[in-house]
Amino acid sequence: MKAKSKLPNLDTVTTINEDGSRFNIHPADVRGRFTRWRRIAALLLIGVYILLPWIPVNGYPAVFLDVLHRRFHLFGITLAAQDLWLLFFFLSGMAFLLFYITAFLGRVWCGWACPQTVFLEHVFRRIERFIEGDAPARRKLDAAPMTPPKLFKRVLKHGIFLILATIIAHIFLSFFISIPQLWEWIRTSPVEHWKAFFFIIITTLLLYGNFAWFREQLCIVICPYGRFQSALIDDDTLNVAYDYGRGNPPGSVKNPEAGDCIDCRRCVQVCPTGIDIRDGVQLECIGCALCIDACDEVMEKMNYPKGLIRYTTENELEGKTSKLLRPRTFGYGAVLILMISAVIFTIATRVPAKMDVLRDRGALFSFNGEGRVENSYTVKIQNMSEVPQTFSLSVDGLEDMRILTDTTVTVSSGENLSLPTVVDVPPEALVDTNNDIRFYAESQPDSLIKLETESRFVGPRPR
């Protein structure tokens, strides 16, 4: 029992029928300033998504999450797996940035910048429109029996969708695998890298299913941001809204009782989530502003002022003034600044190297030719920065203590170097059989990185 058209209401979700089956939305074409600006924004964003792994910053791609080597390159900063705790501040910062923007601008993210909307509205729906025609033609095609022309259109559409899904999956993978490696994998047999191949297959199928069929269900049922947005907005938040004071009651132009809304239902026809914006702000609304363009077009034809549906706040619709500064924006702003400061502080003060000293097992100590007591160690220095570092090694804790082996060592980027090190001390300098000593490593020539670690020196009982 699939209805051909439906009246949106506040009690049910338009895209889900009473028996649980899906009601497919075919949004009508719309033209206008927001549609144009949104398309420009989407093309810019797609460009950014594609180019980020290609632009080199400090010798690495601008964004390269190298999971294989557990090194994460972000705009010139290289983080290792040990820096994972930074993610807490980064992710909380991103969350509060979203809260902050939502408090002012509502779901502007969903309508303008979310990859789901960007790819669905500006890539996949455009192709569907090109192959299957406008909204009435698409509805007719849906209802028509399977004939060779329909089969051709469907195979063509889904074929292109699959190719696009594969391309997007590769763009996605290029954030995690270097471009030369990805190119190598593309040209060689899948058997040699079956895990990556499997990942691409799964990602492609998920993307294809999402953009070809699942679509607005993701925003309405799955997306958590959509679920808690109603807790983030208030009467001063800018939303896509219908001016009920001016428009109600909707009715024909000839009716002297009717408001400015002529009940043409253009706003309902263009909505990609199938709601009637005139029922007020609803959880399905992704703030895409298509209904604004649709309504403005009608208002222009009617010689009415534009903006019956517009970006506005609940308070303005009630005739009050909206405040930008309010406890909510201060609160979100304060936490946001706190999190951003934490990220900047931790990244700025991060020491991009690590030193460990292991006393060699087996031998406790020995005497060398000069009659001094010798202990041997393995010094491990890990360089987590993106450039090679030269360290000078020193030791402290007992009088006249010397390092007999190399004290200057160069560690290449990402290397964890093991350096066999021998330390000696005159027997009379020993305080105990077991002495606490400290190893120091300083980066050369600038001494920007200073490392130190504890160890012990074992010798004969002092006389």
Exactly one of 341, 366, 416, 418 binds other proteins (CB under 8 A); that residue is 366
Per CB under 8 A, does 263 bind other proteins?
yes
User: Which 108-167 residues touch other proteins, going by CB under 8 A?
Assistant: none
Instruction: Tell me how far, at minimum, the Cβ of 5 lies from other proteins, in Å.
Output: 12
State CA 364 to chain mean position distance.
Answer: 53
- Examine residue 278 and tell whether it contacts other proteins (CB under 8 A): yes
Q: Which of 59, 149, 159, 249 binds other proteins (CB under 8 A)?
A: 249
Sequence letter at residue 309: I
Q: Does 62 bind other proteins (CB under 8 A)?
A: no
DSSP category for residue 213: I
Binding residue count for other proteins, defined by CB under 8 A:
34
Measured CA to CA, the distance from residue 400 to residue 430 in angstroms comes to 10
Which position among 30, 114, 219, 261 is part of the footprint of other proteins (CB under 8 A)? 261
Determine if 67 is a binding residue for other proteins (CB under 8 A): no
Q: Which is nearer to other proteins, 16 or 101 (CB)?
A: 16
Q: Is 410 left (phi over 0), alpha (psi -120 to 50) or beta?
A: beta
| Chain centre to alpha carbon of residue 294 | 32
Whole-angstrom distance, CA of residue 135 vs CA of residue 295:
17
> Contact at 8 Å (CB) between 297 and 269?
no
420 near other proteins, rule: CB under 8 A: no
To other proteins, the closest distance from the beta carbon of 55 in angstroms equals: 37
Residue type, 394: S
Do 314 and 321 form a contact (C-beta atoms < 8 A)?
Answer: no
Q: Where are the beta strands (DSSP E) in 232-317?
A: 239-242, 309-312
Segment 6 to 25, residues that bind other proteins, using CB under 8 A? 7-13, 16, 18-22
In the complex with other proteins, the residue whose CB is nearer, 240 or 268, is 268
Of residues 199, 214, 225, 311, which one binds other proteins by CB under 8 A? 214
Nearer to other proteins, 17 or 203 (CB): 17
> Rounded to an integer, what distance in angstroms lies between the CA atom of residue 349 and that of residue 285?
43
Phi, psi of 155 (to 5 degrees): -65, -40
Q: Which of 175, 164, 173, 316 is nearest to 243 (CA)?
A: 316
Indicate the residue among 214 and 311 with the shorter CB distance to other proteins: 214
Which residue lies nearer to other proteins by CB, 244 or 311? 244
Give, as one character, the DSSP assignment of residue 284: T
The correct pick among 358, 404, 431, 448 for binding other proteins (CB under 8 A) is 358
Q: Which is nearer to other proteins, 236 or 276 (CB)?
A: 276
Handedness of CA 166, 170, 172, 176 (dihedral sign): positive
Q: How far is the CB of 459 from other proteins (least distance, A)?
A: 12
Interatomic CA distance for residues 377 and 220, integer angstroms: 61
Which residues of the chain form contacts with other proteins (CB under 8 A)? 7-13, 16, 18-22, 214, 217, 221, 248-250, 261, 263, 268, 276, 278-279, 358-364, 366, 376
